[in-house]
């Protein structure tokens, strides 16, 4: 596919989402990046800011099946993956697929359920397959999980362990809409929902093709070195207890490739890296207690690291 075509198609998807969720262009773009890079998104925000609508719009725009799992403390792993039910008529077990057997899955309030159930979902995310009754079942492609987590309520929650947070490519925040955007939201809420008549603008095959295309985006060695440099700095920073893992570096590179493609480029710029670092790294870091108690947060420290790390601008001497 030509660059322009790719750009055009992705632009259509984003416009589609925009029609439903006003003013969330950036979140939509980053979700798109995660989708293209084959990663998953953790949305950390309060309820009611349009997370579900966003994901639904995305799913509709690419003609994918959309499943939603509302996590509750009593949810069992089989409620996620599916279960074999004994059919008395046929005298055999019949597999009834769970909600994970879809393309785009909204895992709402993932921290409300038990670690056991969480791990069922996380295994699926990592391996792109689930094991039910000893039988491994491949998940459909594309497979994209958008998990949400409420940062306010901690009562009765099972916070995701760091190792599992690592499995999300990006952590995003929706944020509240501006006054104008909220006005638009109210205007739309009064009339019909545009979500209903959203038409797919990208076929699934095309999406898979795009995902393959992402892997062809050039990441120069200098840029790779820059990624590694940044990751190293998170590991050596005195304010950070646990830095970004090599998986974090890989995630950053993949996300940057996808983002470059979104920007209709077939090569990655340090600008892409700089833009994506907060989204890719912030949930992978554990800060030192001192840093936590002071006003610093991961985003702040990452910005600090970015501004002090020299950008690769020199050509390699030939």
Partner 1 sequence: MMPKRVENIIQLFIYVFSFFLLTEWMRPVSELTDTGNMKVFILFIILSLAVHFFSLHWFARFVVLIGYIAVIAYMLYDDALFSIRELGVNIAYVWSGDWVLMTNSFRTLLFFALLWLVTYLIHYWIYMKSNLFFFFSMTIILLAVLDTFTIYDASTAIVRVVIAGVMILGVMKLVHLFPALSLRLLGKWSMSLIVMVAFFVSMGLLLPKPGPQWPDPIPFIQSFSEQAKGEDSTASVSKVGYSEDDSKLGGSIEPDSSVVFYHTATPDYYWKVESKNVYTGKGWVSSVGEGTAFPVANGDELTELENYEGPEQVAAKALSASVSIIEDQGHILYPAGSYLKNVKAEGVSFFLYEPNLKKLTPQTADGTLQDISEYIVNYEQSRYDLAQLRKVTEADETMDVLMDLYTQLPDSVPSRVYDLARELTENQLNWYDKAKAVEDYFDRSEFVYSKEDIPYPAKDQDYVDQFLFETRTGYCDNYSTSMVVLLRAAGIPARWAKGYTEGERTVKEGEVIYQVTNNNAHSWVEVYFSGIGWISFEPTKGFSSEPEFINSDRTTHRDMEHATVREDQAETPQQEEKNAISERGTNGKFASIMKPFWISLGIVVIVVLSLFFTRRKWVPRLLITRCKRKSICFSEAYEVLVKQLHRAGLKRLKGQTFREYAAYVDSVYDTNLMTELTRRYELILYRGDEEGEAWRELQESWETLMRKTSS
Q: 83 with 132: CB under 8 angstroms?
A: yes
Q: 39 with 255: CB under 8 angstroms?
A: yes
Q: Supply the minimum distance, in Å, between the C-beta of residue 278 and partner 1.
A: 13
Q: Which residue number, 6 or 268, has a Cβ lying nearer to partner 1?
A: 268
Q: Supply the minimum distance, in Å, between the C-beta of residue 266 and partner 1.
A: 7
CA distance 109 to 69: 9
Q: Supply the minimum distance, in Å, between the C-beta of residue 190 and partner 1.
A: 37
Q: Which residue number, 166 or 272, has a Cβ lying nearer to partner 1?
A: 272
**Measuring CA to CA, which residue among 105, 55, 36 is closest to residue 272?**
36
Q: Supply the minimum distance, in Å, between the C-beta of residue 162 and partner 1.
A: 27
**Residues binding partner 1 (CB under 8 A):** 218, 220, 222-223, 266-271, 274, 306-311, 313, 315
**Measuring CA to CA, which residue among 147, 151, 142 is closest to residue 165?**
147
Q: Which residue number, 43 or 302, has a Cβ lying nearer to partner 1?
A: 302
Q: Which residue number, 148 or 234, has a Cβ lying nearer to partner 1?
A: 234
Q: Supply the minimum distance, in Å, between the C-beta of residue 228 and partner 1.
A: 16
Q: Which residue number, 136 or 307, has a Cβ lying nearer to partner 1?
A: 307
């Amino acid at each position: 596919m030509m660059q322009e075509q790719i750009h055009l198609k992705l632009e259509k998807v984003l416009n589609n989402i925009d029609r439903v969720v006003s003013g969330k262009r950036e979140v939509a773009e980053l979700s798109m990046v995660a989708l293209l890079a084959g990663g998953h998104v953790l949305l950390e925000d309060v309820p009611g800011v349009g997370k579900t609508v966003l994901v639904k719009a995305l799913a509709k725009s690419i003609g994918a099946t959309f499943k939603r799992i509302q996590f509750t403390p009593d949810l069992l792993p089989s409620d996620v993956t599916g279960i074999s039910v004994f059919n008395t008529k046929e005298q055999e077990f019949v597999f009834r697929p769970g909600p994970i057997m879809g393309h785009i899955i909204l895992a709402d309030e993932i921290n409300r359920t038990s670690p056991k159930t969480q791990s069922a979902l996380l295994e699926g995310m990592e391996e792109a397959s689930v094991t039910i009754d000893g039988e491994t079942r491949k998940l459909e492609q594309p497979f994209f999980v958008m998990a949400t987590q409420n940062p306010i309520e901690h009562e009765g929650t099972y916070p995701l362990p760091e190792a599992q947070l690592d499995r999300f490519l990006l952590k995003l925040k929706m944020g509240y809409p501006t006054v104008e955007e909220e006005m638009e939201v109210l205007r739309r809420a009064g009339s019909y929902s545009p979500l209903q008549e959203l038409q797919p603008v990208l076929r699934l095959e095309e999406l898979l093709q795009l995902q393959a295309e992402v892997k062809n985006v050039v990441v120069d060695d200098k840029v790779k070195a820059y990624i590694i440099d940044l990751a190293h700095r998170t590991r050596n920073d005195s304010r950070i207890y646990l830095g970004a893992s090599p998986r974090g570096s890989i995630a950053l590179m993949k996300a940057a490739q996808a983002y470059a493609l979104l920007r209709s480029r077939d090569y990655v710029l340090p600008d892409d890296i700089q833009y994506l670092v907060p989204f890719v790294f912030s949930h992978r870091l554990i800060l030192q207690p001192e840093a936590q108690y002071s006003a610093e947060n991961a985003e702040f420290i990452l910005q600090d690291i970015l501004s002090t790390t020299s950008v690769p601008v020199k050509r390699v001497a030939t």
